[in-house]
């Protein structure tokens, strides 16, 4: 009999919650263990809080209490209208059930698909929902999405909804909530919903001025003029210029952060350009107007269309002209009303224009020189697979570029890499400290120009050729210095690449500990000590253990290196707490304050015994 027989017996029908458990990535994106802000456990918390915030948006309840204990058990209580008691079970367990299809009840909501709370229920080992309405309550208990028990009766509790859940540990292996991630997300809820109070870990997250407060906290005074601010029922924005390169935005749709922007953001950027040009009567380019802008934008859309369930990018095209016109009129009106601010804006735009024209000559010279040197970038060992050529049959595939220093380290990575998806860029030596340097240095410095070409970010970070930029440096003082110089390069010239999460640091083992039967690779002194104890054994006579300390990546053989850049590769994503931190941190660590920095190092120096 054919082992691959295909007949009626092979057809399966899953319940909606079974489908969520079978394919969780379709509903919450990545699973993860809590080490990344987009990991699934944070999406679960977000989905529940979103529902509570929707109540506030509809004018009912201005408080949300959030609690997460040390075991990962989560509790969210709002004081909104409460789920109608007769529909409590269905609203948390039956897909496509909910009031958010009714715009009379929820005018602006992210959860239009009726999936969010059901996904939390399906992906939790324990889930409880309790609705309080007009002196009565209805409570339901679930395990792995399956209803276990129901209760109802009288109560003295205020109206609202309480949800408690524990993420399924079989799906979210060894997960831990990073409370800093949660705090950052709660501040965003507060900024987007002026007047709402969220309580977590004894702290109240509350904003009176909305997006203006968000912009103020991000910039911490690092702006050329007081922000332009506009708000109506469906659209709010605030922006100003800084002296930094590029433009940076925090965009939201119905309270959800759209990290990849979308129609609303591109319309906003166009509206700013048209507003400045209408006031000035000139035809400035978009780059000249936007270079240096830091902006925040929040729109409310009745039926948002996102590119995925995790809602990173908005796709509604019908809102474009509306946003462009509102932003254009608001910017032009503001500039007429506040001529001093208008003068500062035009001065910044004209400076951008002068710099761009000066760079045109430098760019032409750099490109001509590069063509004479080689037809391709000499330090780049490219891969064959790039986002622009992605095959729709391979939606999960991604490519990456390793940036390393020296021929030995580059040789190990090149020999061990997957040439289809992994590229290698080898620095010739320590890169230049570019902190405080003008933009034309990128074109005058051969190494910096080659790196920019390899990444294909000369015109815009949006043309980046790779899904991940990985800094692969030795785990010694020189390697850390090179890493800091590379981070300075990205933060100074291409900060959006870090803000959007493209830059990573490769973690490679420092020690190899082995005996005749087993080899262990250790990433810290503590792991080394544990490995030595394990490999020596518990007998009266300790087994002989050989220990090697890798001084550089080039000392790791290609055969060994392959496992460190394979599926189990350890990466740390580089992130930014606030934009204002960039200038302060770079100024301290990479600026000219050598005596102050030396004193800091001496005060914080920790002497370790030699192993």
The terminus-to-terminus CA distance of the chain in angstroms comes to: 64
Residue finishing a domain among 189, 205, 221: 205
| DSSP string covering 352-405 | HHHHHHHHHHHHHHHHHHHHHH-SS-TTEE--S--GGG--TT-TT---EEEEEE
Residues 429 and 577 in one domain: yes
Q: Sheet harboring 546-549: ordered strands across?
A: 519-522, 511-514, 546-549
How far is 544 from 534, CA to CA, in rounded Å?
Answer: 11
Residues 482 and 575 in one domain: yes
> Are the C-beta atoms of 197 and 64 separated by less than 8 Å?
yes
How far is 234 from 316, CA to CA, in rounded Å?
Answer: 15
* pLDDT of 499: 82
Residues 184 and 222 in one domain: no
Per the listing, tokens 């659209």 go with 235
Q: Is 142 helix (H, G, I), strand (E, B) or coil?
A: strand
* Residue 610 located in a structural domain: no
Q: Which domain holds residue 109?
A: 16-205
Angle among Cα 367, 368, 370 to the nearest 5 degrees reads 65
* Residue 298 located in a structural domain: yes
CA distances from 166 to 138, 141, 144, 171 (A): 20, 12, 10, 12
Residues 151 and 110 in one domain: yes
Q: b vs e for 363-372, b when ≥16 Cβ sit within 10 Å of the residue's Cβ?
A: beebeeebee
* pLDDT of 556: 86
Q: How confident is the model at residue 609 (pLDDT cuts 50, 70, 90)?
A: very low
State the DSSP code for 162: E
Residue finishing a domain among 321, 354, 387: 354
Residues 426 and 412 in one domain: yes
Residues 48 and 188 in one domain: yes
Output 481 or 154, whichever has higher pLDDT: 154
How far is 508 from 526, CA to CA, in rounded Å?
Answer: 15
pLDDT(486) > 60: yes
For the segment 2-11, the average pLDDT, to the nearest whole number, is: 56
Give the residues across from 130 on adjacent strands. Answer: 139, 162
Residue finishing a domain among 172, 205, 238: 205
Q: Kindly state the tokens that stand for 57.
A: 């948006």
How far is 460 from 448, CA to CA, in rounded Å?
Answer: 16
* CATH, residue 440: 3.40.50.670
pLDDT(258) > 80: yes
Residues 201 and 222 in one domain: no
pLDDT(93) > 80: yes
How far is 481 from 491, CA to CA, in rounded Å?
Answer: 15
Q: Residue 356's closest CA among 433, 348, 344, 383?
A: 348
How far is 331 from 222, CA to CA, in rounded Å?
Answer: 21
* pLDDT of 597: 61
How far is 50 from 533, CA to CA, in rounded Å?
Answer: 48
Q: Sheet harboring 293-299: ordered strands across?
A: 228-231, 235-241, 293-299, 248-253, 256-257
Give the residues across from 133 on adjacent strands. Answer: 136
* Residue 114 located in a structural domain: yes
* Residue 518 located in a structural domain: no
* CATH, residue 125: 3.30.565.10
Residues 267 and 182 in one domain: no
Q: How confident is the model at residue 309 (pLDDT cuts 50, 70, 90)?
A: low
* Residue 491 located in a structural domain: yes
Query: What is the four-CA torsion angle of 286, 291, 293, 299, rounded to 10 degrees?
Result: 30
Instruction: Label each residue of 501-548 as H, E or C.
Output: CCEEEEECCCEEEECCCCEEEECCHHHHHHHHHHHHCCCCCCCCCEEE
Per-state percent for the chain, helix, strand, coil, to nearest 5: 40, 20, 40
* Residue 543 located in a structural domain: no
Q: How confident is the model at residue 392 (pLDDT cuts 50, 70, 90)?
A: very low
Element at 200 (helix H, strand E): strand 197-200
* Residue 369 located in a structural domain: no
Residues 407 and 313 in one domain: no
How far is 51 from 132, CA to CA, in rounded Å?
Answer: 15
Q: How many domains does the chain have?
A: 3
% of the chain at pLDDT higher than 90:
43
Mean pLDDT is lowest, of 83-92, 117-126, 578-587, for 578-587
Give the model confidence (pLDDT) of 131-143 as tens digits.
999 999 999 999 9
Give the model confidence (pLDDT) of 501-531 as tens digits.
899 999 888 899 999 899 999 988 889 999 9
* CATH, residue 340: 3.30.230.10
Q: Residue 513's closest CA among 495, 536, 493?
A: 536
Q: Write down the pTM of the prediction.
A: 0.73
Q: How confident is the model at residue 480 (pLDDT cuts 50, 70, 90)?
A: confident
Residues 196 and 219 in one domain: no
Angle among Cα 372, 375, 381 to the nearest 5 degrees reads 130
Q: Residue 171's closest CA among 34, 342, 50?
A: 34
Give the model confidence (pLDDT) of 404-414 as tens digits.
987 778 888 99
> Are the C-beta atoms of 535 and 515 separated by less than 8 Å?
yes
How far is 235 from 267, CA to CA, in rounded Å?
Answer: 12
* Residue 564 located in a structural domain: no
Give the model confidence (pLDDT) of 416-462 as tens digits.
999 999 999 998 878 888 888 888 888 888 888 889 989 988 877 87
Element at 256 (helix H, strand E): strand 256-257
Q: Kindly state the tokens that stand for 154.
A: 């009288």
Residues contacting 102, CB < 8 A, separation 6+: none
Residues 226 and 302 in one domain: yes
How far is 17 from 124, CA to CA, in rounded Å?
Answer: 11
Residues 455 and 501 in one domain: yes
């Amino acid at each position: 009999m054919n082992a691959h027989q295909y007949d009626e017996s092979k057809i399966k029908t899953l319940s909606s919650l079974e489908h969520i458990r079978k394919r969780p990535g379709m509903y919450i994106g990545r699973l993860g263990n809590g080490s990344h802000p987009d990991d699934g456990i944070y999406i679960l918390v977000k989905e529940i809080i979103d529902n509570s915030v929707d109540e506030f948006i509809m004018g009912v309840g201005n408080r949300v209490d959030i609690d997460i204990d040390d075991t990962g058990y989560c509790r969210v209580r709002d004081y909104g209208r409460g789920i109608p008691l007769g529909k409590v079970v269905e609203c948390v367990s039956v897909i496509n059930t909910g009031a958010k299809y009714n715009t009379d009840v929820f005018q602006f909501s992210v959860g239009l698909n009726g999936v969010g709370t059901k996904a939390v229920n399906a992906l939790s080992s324990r889930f409880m929902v309790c609705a309080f309405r007009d002196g009565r309550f209805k409570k339901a208990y679930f395990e792995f999405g399956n209803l276990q028990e129901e209760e109802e009766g009288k109560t003295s509790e205020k109206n609202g909804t309480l949800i408690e859940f524990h993420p399924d540990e079989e799906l979210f292996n060894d997960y831990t909530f990073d409370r800093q991630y949660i705090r950052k997300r709660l501040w965003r809820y507060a900024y987007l919903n002026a007047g709402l109070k969220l309580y977590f870990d004894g702290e109240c997250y509350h904003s009176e001025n909305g997006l203006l407060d968000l912009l103020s906290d991000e910039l911490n005074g690092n702006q050329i003029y007081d922000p332009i601010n506009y708000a109506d029922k469906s659209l709010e924005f605030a922006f100003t210029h800084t002296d930094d390169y590029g433009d940076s935005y925090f965009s939201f749709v119905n309270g959800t952060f759209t990290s990849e922007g979308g129609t609303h953001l591109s319309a906003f950027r166009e509206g700013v350009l048209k507003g400045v040009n209408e006031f000035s009567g000139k035809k400035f380019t978009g780059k000249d107007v936007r270079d240096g802008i830091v902006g925040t934008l929040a729109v409310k859309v009745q039926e948002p269309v996102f590119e995925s369930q995790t809602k990173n990018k908005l796709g509604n095209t019908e809102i474009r002209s509306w946003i462009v016109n509102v932003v254009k009129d608001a910017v032009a009106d503001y500039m007429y009303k506040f001529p001093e601010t208008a003068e500062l804006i035009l001065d910044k735009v004209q400076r951008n224009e002068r710099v761009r024209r000066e760079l045109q000559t430098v760019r032409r010279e750099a490109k001509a020189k590069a063509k004479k040197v080689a037809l391709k970038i000499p330090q780049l060992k490219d891969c064959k697979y790039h986002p622009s050529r992605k095959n729709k049959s391979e939606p999960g595939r991604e490519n990456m570029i390793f940036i390393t220093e020296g021929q030995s380290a580059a040789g190990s990575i090149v020999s061990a890499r997957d040439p289809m998806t992994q590229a290698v860029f080898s620095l010739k030596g320590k890169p230049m400290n570019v902190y405080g340097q003008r933009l034309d240095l990128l074109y005058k410095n051969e190494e910096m120009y080659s790196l920019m070409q390899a990444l294909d970010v000369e015109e815009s970070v949006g043309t980046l050729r790779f899904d991940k930029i990985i800094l692969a440096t030795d785990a010694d003082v020189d390697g850390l210095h090179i890493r800091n110089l590379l981070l300075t390069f990205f933060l100074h010239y291409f900060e959006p690449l870090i803000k959007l999460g493209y830059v990573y640091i490769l973690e490679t083992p420092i020690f190899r500990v082995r005996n005749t039967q087993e080899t262990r690779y250790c990433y810290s002194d503590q792991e080394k000590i544990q490995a030595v104890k394990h490999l020596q054994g518990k007998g009266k006579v300790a087994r002989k253990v050989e220990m090697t300390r890798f001084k550089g990546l080039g000392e790791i053989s290609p055969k060994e290196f392959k496992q460190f850049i394979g599926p189990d590769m350890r990466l740390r994503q580089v992130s930014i707490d606030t934009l204002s931190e960039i200038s302060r941190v770079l100024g301290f660590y990479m600026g000219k304050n050598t005596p102050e920095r030396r004193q800091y190092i001496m005060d914080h120096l920790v002497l370790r015994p030699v192993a």
